[in-house]
Structure 1
C-alpha cells in the first residue's frame, strides 16, 4: 500500500519513517498526529499526543491481548497505566484521554514523558542525515534545531512540550487523513502479525468496535430451537439447569481472542456465571467433554428440524464432511479448539479458576 503522491512534498521520507521498524511507537505517533490535525489542531501538545498513543493501543493490548514485542514501550505503558490509574479495560477513549492528559500522578506523567526521549525526533530521522561520528545526543539536538525552521520540508517542528505542523503538510494530512490511517493500520497489522503468527484476525483487533455484534440470530434461530426440543440444558460450567427464558449465550474460546461469533464456539451458560466469567479460558480437561456433547446434541437437533439453516454451514470450518453425524468427530473438534486455548493463554488470557 502506497501513500498518496504529492508534487511539492517529500512523501517518500514519510513512508521511509516506517522502515526498519522494531516497535509500534511510530505507527501510533503518526496516527495521533493525524487525529488531532483532523480536529483542526496544528500546535500539538506532546502530552496530548502521548496520551492518544496510549488511547489508540489501549483496547488492542488490554482486551485482545495482542503481543507488541518484549521491548515495546507502548505495550508496557498501557499495562502500567491500567494499574496506576485504576482504569477499566473497556473505558471510553475520551475519558481515558482526559484522565491521562490531566493526571497529577507522577508515575503517569513519567510513563507518558518516557516517549519524549526518542519518539518525536526519531520519527523525523528520514529528513535529517546523521553525520558520521555524531552521538545520539547531538543528533537529537540537530533534529530539534533544524526542524524549527522546517528544514528539508520536515513534517513538524519540535519544541520541548509541543510540536507545530509544517503549513506545507497541513492540507496533505487533512485531505488524505483516511488513506494515511489505512496505511498506518495496514503496516501495523503486518508488524503485529509477525509477532502473533497464530493469533486470528489481527486487523480487526486494532480498533475497538463501536458495538459488539449481537447474538440474537444464533439465539433465536439455533439455540432456542434446541431448548424447545430438550426443555432444559445444563450449564457446562456450573451444572445449573437452564431454560429458554433464562440463559446466556457465551463464547467457549473468548471472543476477545477468536474475534468471531461462529456457532461452533457458542454455548448456552448460566447468566450469573456469564457476568463474572469475563474473557477467562475454559479448562479443556474439565469443560471440553460437556461442551462437545452439548454441541453434538444441538447439531443433531438442528439438522433434523432445520437442515437448511445457514448456521449449520459454520461447522464446515472444522468438519469438512458433515453428510452424516459420524462426521461430527470428537478428536477433530478438540484438535481445533485446544490450540486456540493454548495460544490465547500464551498471549495473556487467564484460565477459569
Structure 2
C-alpha cells in the first residue's frame, strides 16, 4: 500500500521513515500525530503524543497478547503502566489517556518521557542526513535546530516539550487522514505478522472493537434447542447443572485469541464461572473430554432437529467432509484445538488454575 502523492511536499521522505523499521514506535508516533491533526491541533504536546502511543497499543498488547518484540518500547511501556497504575486491560481509550496525562506516579512519567530520547527526532531522520563521524547526540541537536526552520520541508519542528506541524503538511495530513491510517495499520500488520506467524486474524487485533459480537443467534438457534432436548447440561468446568435460561456461552479457546464466534468453539458453562474465567485457557487433559462430548451430542441433536441450520456448516472448518455424526471424530477435533491452545499459551495467555 502506497502513500498518497503530492506535488507540494516530499512524501518520499515520509515513506522512507517506514523503510527500515525494527520497532513499532514509528507507526504509533505517526498515528498519534494524525489523530491530533484531525482535531485541528498543530502545536502538539509530546506527552500527549506519547500517551496516545500507549493508548493505541494498549488493547493489542494486553487483550490480544500480540507480541511487538522483546525489545519494543511500546510493548514494555504498556505492560509497565498496566502493572504500576493497576488498570484494567479493557479500560476505555479516553479514560486511559486521562490517567496517563494526570498520573503522579514517577514510573509512569519516566516511561512516557523515555520516548523523547529517540522517537521524535529519529522519525525525521529521512529529511536530515547524518554526516560521517557525527555522533548521535550531535545528530539529534542538528535535527532539532534544522527542523525548527522547517528545513528540507520536514513534517514538523521539534522543541523540548512539543512539536509544531509544518504548515505545508497540514492539508496533506488532514485530507488524507483515513488513507494514512490505513497505511499505518497495513504496514503494522505486516510488521507484526512476522513476529506472530501463528496468531489468527492479526489485522483485526490492532484496534479495540467497539462492541463484541452478540451470541444471540448461537444461543437461541442452537444451544437453546439442545437444552430443550436434553433438559439440563453439566458445566464442563464446574460440573454444575445448567438449564435453558441459566447458562453462559463461552469460547473454549478464548475469543481474544481466535477472534471469532464459530459454533465449534462455543460451549455452555456456569454463569458465575464465566464472569471470573476471563481469557484463561482450558487444560486439555481436564476439560477437552467433556467439551467434545457435549459438542458431539449437540451436533447430533441439531442434525436431527434442524439439519439445514447454517450454524452446522461452521463445523466444516474442523471436519471438511462432515456429513453425519459418524464423521465427528475425537482425534481430529482434539488435533485441531490443541495447537490453538498451545500457541495461545506461548503468546501469553494463562491456563485455568
TM value normalised by structure 2: 0.99
Q: How does 1:204-223 map to 2 (within 5 A)?
A: 204-223=204-223
Aligned to 2:322: 322
Aligned to 1:86: 86
* Local SS of the residue matching 2:41: coil
Supply the distance in 2 between the matched residues of 1:344 and 1:20 (Cα, whole angstroms): 29
Supply the distance in 2 between the matched residues of 1:231 and 1:328 (Cα, whole angstroms): 23
Aligned to 1:12: 12
Supply the distance in 2 between the matched residues of 1:23 and 1:334 (Cα, whole angstroms): 36
Per-residue deviation, residues 160-213 of structure 1 (Å, max 9, x unmatched):
000000000000000000000000000000000100000001100000011000
Q: How does 1:266-285 map to 2 (within 5 A)?
A: 266-285=266-285
* C-alpha contact 2:303 2:324 (8 A) present in aligned 1: no
Give the gaps of 5 or more residues in structure 2.
Answer: none
Supply the distance in 2 between the matched residues of 1:286 and 1:81 (Cα, whole angstroms): 35
Per-residue deviation, residues 74-129 of structure 1 (Å, max 9, x unmatched):
00000000011111111110010011011111111000000000000000000010
* Local SS of the residue matching 1:49: helix
Aligned to 2:201: 201
Aligned to 1:61: 61
TM-superposed deviation, 1:324:
2.5
Aligned to 1:312: 312
Supply the distance in 2 between the matched residues of 1:45 and 1:84 (Cα, whole angstroms): 23
* Local SS of the residue matching 1:164: strand
* Local SS of the residue matching 2:244: coil
* Local SS of the residue matching 1:199: coil
1:73 aligns with 2:73: yes
* Local SS of the residue matching 1:44: strand
Per-residue deviation, residues 108-164 of structure 1 (Å, max 9, x unmatched):
100000000000000000001010111011111111100001000000000000000
Q: How does 1:1-353 map to 2 (within 5 A)?
A: 1-353=1-353
* Local SS of the residue matching 2:56: helix
Supply the distance in 2 between the matched residues of 1:156 and 1:332 (Cα, whole angstroms): 57
* Local SS of the residue matching 1:211: coil
RMSD, matched Cα: 0.5
